[in-house]
Amino acid sequence: MKFGTKAIHAGQHPDPTTGAVMTPIYQTSTFAQESPGKHKGFEYARTQNPTRSALEANLAALENAKFGRCFGSGLAATDSILKTLKPGDEIISTNDLYGGTFRLFTKVYEQYGLKFQFINMTDASMLTEAFTPNTRLVWIETPTNPMMNIIDIETVVKMAKQHGAITVVDNTFASPYLQNPIDLGADVVMHSVTKYISGHSDVVMGFVGTNNPAIDEQIGFIQNASGAVPGPQDCFLVLRGVKTLHVRMDRHCYNGEQVARFLKSHDAVDKVYWPGFDDHPNHAIAKKQMKNFGGMLSFALKEDSQSKAFSVLEKLKVFTLAESLGGVESLAGHPASMTHASIPREQRLAGGLTDSLIRLSVGIEDHEDLIADLHEALS
């Protein structure tokens, strides 16, 4: 079955009791049992809920994963993956990643004895040197947030396997429509469902998918034991949003390209980070592993100051100045003071995240209006 058909049908069946075509919101915390342990597959809504099960099956199908689990946020999904590790285990991660993930790694999990290295994985030779006998997991974000670097998933997976480590890919920026890490050999795929999958900026949720039954069993155990599950109402909203994921993504990609090309030609703009440009350093890898280049991009101003960036952001009218991404509406953000403020400045600058860097989540409005808005704000 192809992607659009799966987005609309996978995991969903008319409700057996009423024939309702759309999966109902099973707003219940518990389920009746005929005799202790004798039930219809549902006991208690932290453990399973039919609305959540339908969504989990749908998202697993979109990622070509056998198993999928939903969580109360993207970070709760990440948290569940880290809970499969033990003190002394080592993790190698991309050096450019969502600030909240960095904060969870360094401020929460380092104190429980996990060890992290943050390296530039666009350079595979640096990765070779980073492995130790204790390396258990390689964490990739690609495209990276916010510098739009592209990591070669197949190459990293191959190296991780040689060292007995598993590879996890945070696939949030690409969405399952543009990139499927499990098909490229990754052991685990993770999403902030909050973003493109939900698509309407009205839900916070996370997802973990895998083909490995042992990993899924661990993640399922943690999902139930720690309990960071999403409610049925949110699962319903995501089931509704995901049905148009393929249609929305095509428009995000188209608009992203129009905006990227406009910014590249603008006098006030120093650099535009968008993997669709021929001269993007990782363009060839993006072409190899992604179906298209997405609607996320960042740009730096010629006058590299926070105040200049703030004045551009304050003038935008169609783009909303806000955290987050992946919704139908266009958003703009200032990573240094917003999404990535928890990363020390020197570390940010080393990766190119300068004070004037502006990140755009290009929505699905008419691109002419988006370009006119940027033109006005930059002039």
- Do residues 58 and 242 make contact, with C-beta atoms less than 8 angstroms apart? yes
- 187 annotated active-site: no
- 44 annotated active-site: no
- 115 annotated active-site: no
Taking CB under 6 A as the criterion, the residue among 61, 151, 174, 204 binding ligand P1T is 204
Torsion on CA atoms 277, 120, 296, 231, rounded to nearest 10: 150
Of the residues 46, 115, 271, 291, only one is catalytic, namely: 46
Binding mask 67-86 toward ligand P1T (x if CB under 6 A, else -) reads ------xxx-----------
Among 82-90, 96-104, 130-138, 285-293, which window interacts with ligand P1T (CB under 6 A)? 96-104
- Do residues 90 and 136 make contact, with C-beta atoms less than 8 angstroms apart? yes
Sequence-ordered alpha helix ranges (H) in 182-244: 213-226, 232-242
**Rounded to the nearest 10 degrees, what angle do helices 245-264 and 367-378 cross at?**
30
In one-letter notation, the amino acid at residue 245 is L
Q: For residues 159-178, which are near ligand P1T according to CB under 6 A?
A: 170, 172-173
Instruction: In angstroms, give the least distance from the CB of 368 to ligand P1T.
Output: 26
- Residue of 211, 173, 209, 210 lying closest to 192 (CA atoms): 173
- 136 annotated active-site: no
* Of 306 and 324, CB closest to ligand P1T: 324
Decide if residue 101 touches ligand P1T (CB under 6 A).
yes
- Do residues 248 and 198 make contact, with C-beta atoms less than 8 angstroms apart? no
* Of 50 and 141, CB closest to ligand P1T: 141
Q: For residues 38-57, which are near ligand P1T according to CB under 6 A?
A: none
φ, ψ dihedrals at 362, nearest 5°:
-80, 120
Residues belonging to the active site: 46, 98, 170, 195
Q: Give the interface with ligand P1T as residue ranges (CB under 6 A).
A: 73-75, 98, 100-101, 141, 145, 170, 172-173, 192, 194, 204, 206, 323-325, 339
